[in-house]
Amino acid sequence: MQSSEQPAILSLFPEGSSVVDGEIAISGVHASDLAAAYGTPAYIVDESALRQRIRHYRDGLSLRWPNSRVYFASKAFPATAVYQVMSEEGIGIDVAGGGELVMALAGGADPRDILVHGNAKTDSDLKMVLDAGVGLIIVDNLHEVDQLTALVQGTQDVLVRIRPNVDTDTHEAMSTGHGDSKFGMGPEETRRAIDMIQRSKDLRLRGLHVHIGSQVFELDAFSESIKALSEFGEFEIYDLGGGLGERHSYDDPAVSVDDYLDAVVQAAKDFLPPSSRIILEPGRSLVARAGVTMYRVVNVKRGGKTLVAVDGGMADNLEVSLYGQRFEATLSNRFHGEELVSVVGRHCESGDELIDGVHLDSPAAGDLLLMPVTGAYCFTMANNYNGSLRLPVVFVSDGVPRLVVRRETYEDLLARDVLVPPLQPKR
């Protein structure tokens, strides 16, 4: 039976999560049942909530600017099953490497609905995407124009990425629109690239691209970047990037998808041709809230700072160590705790701390601990620290779970080794 009093942390869980019979249920399935079936740690994705967010973006943008298209910035969650969902929901895919391209195609993406990013595309990268027949390539630098000119057979549609010199209040590693960013080109190089492409018989310049970073809550910054696009003339397509921040903790501002769409479309109306096609590339804000990481508490150390050690850590969530990203957590069946603890991982690294300071209800070994808003970049940056096995991904929809990525095995860890026979002792 669903509890009438729902804990505050549910505001960070996938929409539709609830407390049923005293325990958190994700899309109708108790956390303990998921743990029993798939083990811990594990990434849980509410597929229903994910599809709902995709439709919110897709339909919301179309309503405001009919000549438009949403592309998933797939570096946020590059799993074949996620690409399949995106393709089924009718949005495009943005890839930034050969592996992402392979998974997107395996997930059913139409290559004509794929756009390609990257600040250092090699010739082999470009040959791969050209052979696949991708729809758009985002030209990041002048050398890339020469590369494409030498490799293209027939014609290829491209966009030019500008560097708008817009600073954002986000982590330095997530900021991509400032003047010294490694991505895109400044005004002089942009104009040269436009001229080179317009004179090319192999490349078709369809428009411009801009992206200012990730985890951005300042709507004015998006508007500034769109204004910067208008300085280079009128084009058929304007790719406005993505970057809307997602609320990971209670202290993060709540900026809705509708707030974001209103802001970028108003800026487009102010600065861009009314007949142009607009592209948006949401990543984090499309997938983050749909994901929950499920851990088992291994031990608790009290006396001074209380440390709750779980069976995962920086091998499955690098966001904390890399970006200082704040997360929240709760036990699966006790929600109103007053004990201030730090949640730490199991890896041999002092920096392996998932949350510094969170209130839990008398945590003990064996408890299930749930960390919401982990659907973006956690799977992406998963690693084998201390020989850890990368986590499974479980989709849940309307009470039915299904495994979409299995847990890694120790055999997987050895699969790529090329072993040299040991030297024989001299006789």
* Catalytic annotation, residues: 348
DSSP string, 251-300: TS----HHHHHHHHHHHHHHHS-TT-EEEE---HHHHGGGEEEEEEEEEE
- Cβ atoms within 10 Å of 426's Cβ, excluding its own: 4
Distance CA 387, CA 328 (A): 26
Helix (H) or strand (E) holding 195: helix 187-198
Tokens standing for 99? 């592996």
Quick one: which of 318, 371, 322, 315 has its CA closest to 343?
371
Nearest to 185 by CA among 155, 158, 204, 203: 158
From residue 312, alpha-carbon distances to 162, 301, 372, 383 in Å are: 40, 17, 14, 11
CA-to-CA dists, residue 212 to 17, 224, 240, 391, angstroms? 32, 10, 9, 31
- Whether omega before 421 lies within 30 degrees of 0, making that bond cis, reads no
- The label of the residue with tokens 């009438």 reads 4
Query: Of the candidates 228, 259, 364, 347, which has an alpha carbon nearest to the alpha carbon of residue 308?
Result: 364
How many helices (H) and strands (E) are present in the chain, helices listed first? 12, 20
Residue at token pair 């794929």? 114
Instruction: Give CA–CA dist 182/191, Å, rounded.
Output: 18
Which residue has tokens 């729902």? 6
Contact at 8 Å (CB) between 126 and 117? Answer: no
Pairing of strands 156-161, 203-209: parallel
C-alpha angle with apex 193: 190 to 196, nearest 5 degrees?
Answer: 155
